[in-house]
Amino acid sequence: MSPRSISILGVTGSIGQSTLDVIEELRGQGAELDIEAVTAGGNLELLAATCRRLRPKFAAVAEPGQLGAAREALAGLGVEVGAGPSALEEAGARPAGWVMSAIVGAAGLQPTMAAVRRGATVALANKECLVCAGPLFIEAAKRHGARLLPVDSEHNAIFQVLTHPDRVEKLTLTASGGPFRTSSREAMAAATPDQACAHPRWSMGRKISVDSATLMNKGLELIEASYLFGFPSKKIEILVHPESVVHSFVHYLDGSVLGQLGSPDMRIPIGYALTWPDRAHLSTARLDLAKVGALTFEAPDTGKFPALLLARAALDTGAAATTALSAANEVAVEAFLGGRIGFLDICRIVEESMSVLEGSGAASIAKSPTSFDEVAVVDQAARGAARRIAGSLAAA
Ligand code: NDP
């Protein structure tokens, strides 16, 4: 593998730390991987421990007010420190050839765009970039010659087997079904944040874990796949596959179906994105199909998990609707994790926020944003609507 300079946006998260593992393993095999920049939200302790291991040139934290504390935490490590939105963007703009985009939520958009604008190779874990600003994001990547390598396991799987994009009949995104696949609506109504975050197969950050429990994660992935691979909603199906062994399928016009299999370990797609078009030798868990025994598949229950219908409707409506869906969902998930609303309120808030925004002037979800400023207007309007609805549910 040739020498590479790397930046990791969201290094203190689940994906960020798995990326760190992969980098250390490859370095152990002699790969020359230099770290240009890293970013964190507010976890200074983990940021400092990570900087001790990675020795990046630059580290940025999200809050401007944390600059002093971040400098103190990283003192003596020879790392330049920045804070606030412009520092996060600087981390994306610094000259790394390969950038891991793993900040959670729409907060990842501008730092990732800074990498896209200088034509970097972007390993895209942050699906909200695409859901929030899909067509503009894809168009910017094309214009600036940035290569997008999907890290989300399903999209990485499709990327690995999408040998003939013009000969595809349909894509199948597999879904584990989350922790409430077999739960009753009553049990879901009473679910706590910790129960919702106890994913049966994957260990992930809390926001995506809740998204997996509502199946909104699969809805966001449907949108992500549509924008990333250029297929309409009707050509992308979702199938529940509780074993999480097949990470997605591509169905071709000749009747062939290609899938990618592997243990549920994000270091596999991260390693693939980091070494593509090569493949690395990684000490990830090996798939033992005899031990797995049976692979099962079932249609999702959209009555129990309406997030799938909401996401599909948003994708069919257009780019502003997917922006609004993602923003309202972020607010609702935060309210649930904060103990202010119930689990079933998440989708209710998203649905009602979408209704509020239908035909609401500049923030109407019927329009397609033509600039990132217009995306921000829709995003803010959806957050405002979702906060109001969450507030009234919390007060009830
Ligand atoms: P985590 O919550 O574990 O980590 C999120 C990262 O973003 C942390 O570094 C966090 O910093 C940082 N962060 C949080 N808020 C902000 C903010 N406002 N500004 C700047 N940085 C911020 O998430 P995951 O690693 O699980 O997920 C990251 C992304 O990857 C998500 O978009 C998710 O959908 C996607 N993804 C994750 C998968 C997984 O297995 N985890 C699988 C596929 C996709 P800090 O902790 O310091 O506050």
- Per residue in 306-329, pLDDT (tens digit) is 999 999 999 999 999 999 999 999
CB atoms within 10 A of CB 189: 12
How many of the other CB atoms lie within 10 Å of CB of 368? Answer: 14
Average pLDDT, stretch 288-296? 97
Task: Tell me what the mean pLDDT of segment 351-364 comes to.
Answer: 85
Q: Is 238 helix (H, G, I), strand (E, B) or coil?
A: strand
What is the percent of the chain with per-residue pLDDT over 90, rounded to a whole number?
Answer: 93
Cα distances (angstroms) measured from residue 51 to each of 82, 323, 356: 14, 34, 44
Q: What is the pLDDT of residue 341?
A: 97
What's the rounded mean pLDDT across residues 263-286? 96
Distance separating alpha carbons of residues 345 and 282, to the nearest angstrom: 41
Question: Read out DSSP for 298-344?
Answer: B---TTT-THHHHHHHHHHH-HHHHHHHHHHHHHHHHHHHTTSS-TT
pLDDT tens digits, one per residue of 1-21: 555 899 999 999 999 999 999
What's the CA-to-centroid distance between 113 and ligand 1, angstroms? 16
Residue minimizing CA distance to atom 40 of ligand 1: 204
Whether 37 and 31 have beta carbons less than 8 Å apart is answered as: no
Write down the pLDDT at residue 37.
98
pLDDT of residue 363: 74
Q: Are 267 and 18 in contact (CB under 8 A)?
A: yes
Band of pLDDT at residue 202, cut at 50, 70 and 90 = confident
Q: CA-to-CA distance for 231 and 204, rounded, in angstroms?
A: 27
Assign 365 a pLDDT band (cuts: 50, 70, 90): confident
- Residues 359-374: what's their mean pLDDT? 83
CA of 10 to the centre of ligand 1 (A): 6
Q: What's the confidence (pLDDT) of residue 2? A: 52
Mean pLDDT for the stretch of residues 63-88: 98
pLDDT the model gives residue 154: 98
- The two three-digit tokens of residue 349, written as one number: 């808030």
Answer whether 208 contacts ligand 1 (Cβ < 6 A): yes
Strands 236-240 and 246-252: unpaired
Between 249 and 394, name the one with better pLDDT: 249
Q: Supply the pLDDT for residue 199.
A: 87
Q: Is 238 in the pocket of ligand 1 (CB under 6 A)?
A: no
| pLDDT for the residue 3 | 53
Please state, in angstroms and rounded to a whole number, the distance separating the CA atoms of residues 377 and 383.
10
pLDDT at 347: 98
CA distance 377 to 356: 14
Closest to 132 in 3D by CA, of 308, 270, 328, 337? 328
Q: Ligand 1 centroid to 60 CA: how many Å? A: 15
Query: Is the CB–ligand 1 distance for residue 16 below 6 Å?
Result: yes
Strand residue runs (E) in the chain: 4-9, 33-40, 58-61, 80-83, 98-101, 121-124, 147-150, 168-175, 236-240, 246-252, 257-261
DSSP-assigned letter for residue 255? S
Report CA torsion sign: 28, 9, 312, 393.
positive
Q: Is the CB of 126 under 6 A from ligand 1?
A: yes
Mean predicted confidence (pLDDT) in 90-117: 97
Instruction: Please choose, from the candidates 391, 382, 376, the residue with its C-alpha nearest in 3D space to the C-alpha of residue 328.
Output: 382
Q: What pLDDT does 1 receive?
A: 52
Nearest to 183 by CA among 340, 298, 301, 299: 301
For a pocket test of ligand 1, which of 8, 12, 208 has the largest count of ligand atoms closer than 8 A to its C-beta?
208
- pLDDT-based confidence at residue 151 (cuts at 50, 70, 90): very high
pLDDT above 70 as % of the chain: 99
Instruction: Give distance in angstroms: CA of 246 to centre of ligand 1.
Output: 24
pLDDT tens digit string along 325-349? 999 999 999 999 999 999 999 999 9
Mean predicted lDDT score pLDDT of the chain: 96
The mean pLDDT of 207-234, rounded to a whole number, is 97
d(CA 77, CA 80) in angstroms, rounded, equals: 9
For residue 175, what pLDDT band results from cuts at 50, 70 and 90? very high
Question: How many alpha carbons lie under 13 Å from residue 120 in its C-beta half-sphere?
Answer: 29
Q: Reply yes or no on whether the pLDDT at 222 is more than 70.
A: yes
Residue nearest to atom 33 of ligand 1 (CA): 126
62 lines ligand 1 (CB under 6 A): yes
Domains and their CATH numbers in the chain: 4-151 (3.40.50.720), 155-292 (no CATH), 318-395 (1.10.1740.10)
